[in-house]
């Protein structure tokens, strides 16, 4: 049986940073599947310098030439309210927001300038916030919304020369996980993707033969599934690239539980260090551990060995 063709007729999809790279692929896809598309792009360099209307205009022309409906917006995502206004003014609604716009300012932490940090935070974190904040009242009112934000492997795992970018990208994971909780009863589903794909952003750091196998259009189907009305997935993180896609989740070691009295010392923890770090009986939590429940048990444990033998000086 042929897989179903997902459609978005009558819906309005806002894609930020849609003048090139991944954003362009999303915009063209949604335009071809019946959606009204707002093609936002500031039109600057990958380092966040300059601006222009050409990038967004070209994508709008491409969507329209194939019979789709699209309008351009040239604001920075840091002025997200203008981008959402473009959707409302032109199409009267917003159903899907894809926070995709991004830039890089790679530099070792030692040499990082304040501006390298501030600009990355502004575009990725403030930009995602401003767009989502402006869309949220519409999502809530219509009891429908689909929000994708774009993280990165750099944020999940760290990456040399990218402290600014990593911090910003992981911020979007926390942002998404909280919005998923706040949006759930309004049928607002929020997920985050960590893509890997050939674009002007990656072409300076990866060789051509690798990039050949990382086509940006291969990210689109996952985003399409997550933003479709049939989806129920929310608060999730997906890695996606080169045809592979996989969900990521948090893992918590069973850990050590120590009696909660003055035998709970650094030395006592040192003696239990293997237990603290052992993932053999791990769980996959959706929230913080139940500290109150554990507290009762902890209070009843025998006093801990305090680890003097490890030559800890504190006790």
| Binding footprint of ligand NAI on the chain (CB under 6 A) | 16-17, 19-23, 40-44, 46, 48, 55, 76-77, 100-103, 123, 127, 150, 152, 195-197, 199-202
Give dist(CA 241, CA 225) in Å, integer.
15
Least distance from ligand NAI to the Cβ atom of residue 264, Å: 41
First to last CA, the chain: 69
Residue whose CB is less far from ligand NAI, 38 or 101: 101
Residue whose CB is less far from ligand NAI, 101 or 179: 101
Least distance from ligand NAI to the Cβ atom of residue 180, Å: 19
Residue whose CB is less far from ligand NAI, 192 or 271: 192
Task: Name the residue with tokens 């690798």.
Answer: 210
Residue whose CB is less far from ligand NAI, 161 or 255: 161
Residue whose CB is less far from ligand NAI, 46 or 186: 46
- Cα radius of gyration rounded to whole Å, the chain: 23
Taking CB positions, which residue lies at the least distance from ligand NAI?
Answer: 21
Give dist(CA 75, CA 175) in Å, integer.
22
* 3-class secondary structure per residue, 178-233: HHHHHHHHHCEEEEEEEECCCCCCCCCCCCHHHHCCCCHHHCHHHHHHHHCCCCCC
Active site (annotated) includes residue 26: no
Give dist(CA 67, CA 277) in Å, integer.
57
Least distance from ligand NAI to the Cβ atom of residue 152, Å: 4
Q: Which of 138, 165, 186, 238 is catalytic?
A: 165
Give dist(CA 146, CA 136) in Å, integer.
10
Least distance from ligand NAI to the Cβ atom of residue 134, Å: 14
Least distance from ligand NAI to the Cβ atom of residue 202, Å: 4
Q: Crossing angle for the helix pair 127-142 and 163-183, nearest 10 degrees?
A: 10
Count CB neighbours of 110 within 10 A: 5
Catalytic residue positions, numbered: 165
């Amino acid at each position: 049986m042929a897989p179903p063709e997902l459609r978005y007729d009558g819906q309005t999809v806002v894609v930020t940073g849609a003048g090139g790279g991944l954003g362009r692929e999303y915009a063209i896809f949604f335009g071809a599947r019946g959606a009204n598309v707002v093609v936002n792009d500031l039109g600057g360099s990958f380092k966040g310098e300059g601006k222009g209307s050409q990038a967004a205009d070209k994508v709008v022309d491409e969507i329209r030439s194939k019979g789709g409906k699209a309008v351009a917006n040239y604001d920075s995502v840091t002025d997200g309210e203008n981008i959402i206004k473009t959707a409302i003014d032109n199409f009267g609604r917003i159903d899907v927001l894809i926070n995709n716009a991004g830039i890089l300012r790679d530099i070792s932490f030692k040499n990082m300038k304040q501006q390298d940090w501030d600009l990355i935070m502004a575009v990725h974190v403030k930009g995602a916030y401003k767009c989502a904040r402006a869309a949220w009242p519409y999502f809530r009112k219509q009891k429908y919304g689909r929000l994708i934000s774009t993280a990165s492997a750099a944020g999940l795992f760290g990456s040399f020369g990218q402290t600014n970018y990593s911090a910003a990208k992981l911020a979007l994971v926390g942002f998404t996980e909280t919005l998923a909780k706040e949006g759930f009863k309004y049928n607002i589903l929020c997920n985050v993707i960590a893509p890997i794909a050939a674009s002007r952003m990656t072409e300076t750091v990866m060789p051509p033969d690798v990039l050949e196998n990382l086509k940006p259009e291969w990210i689109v189907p996952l985003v399409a599934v997550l933003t479709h009305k049939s989806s129920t997935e929310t608060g999730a993180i997906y890695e996606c690239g080169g045809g592979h896609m996989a969900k990521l989740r948090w893992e918590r070691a069973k850990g050590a539980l120590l009696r909660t009295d003055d035998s709970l010392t650094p030395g006592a923890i040192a003696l239990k260090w293997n237990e603290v770090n052992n993932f053999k009986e791990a769980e996959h939590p959706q929230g913080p551990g139940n500290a109150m429940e554990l507290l009762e048990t902890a209070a009843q444990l025998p006093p801990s060995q305090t680890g003097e033998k490890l030559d800890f000086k504190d006790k």
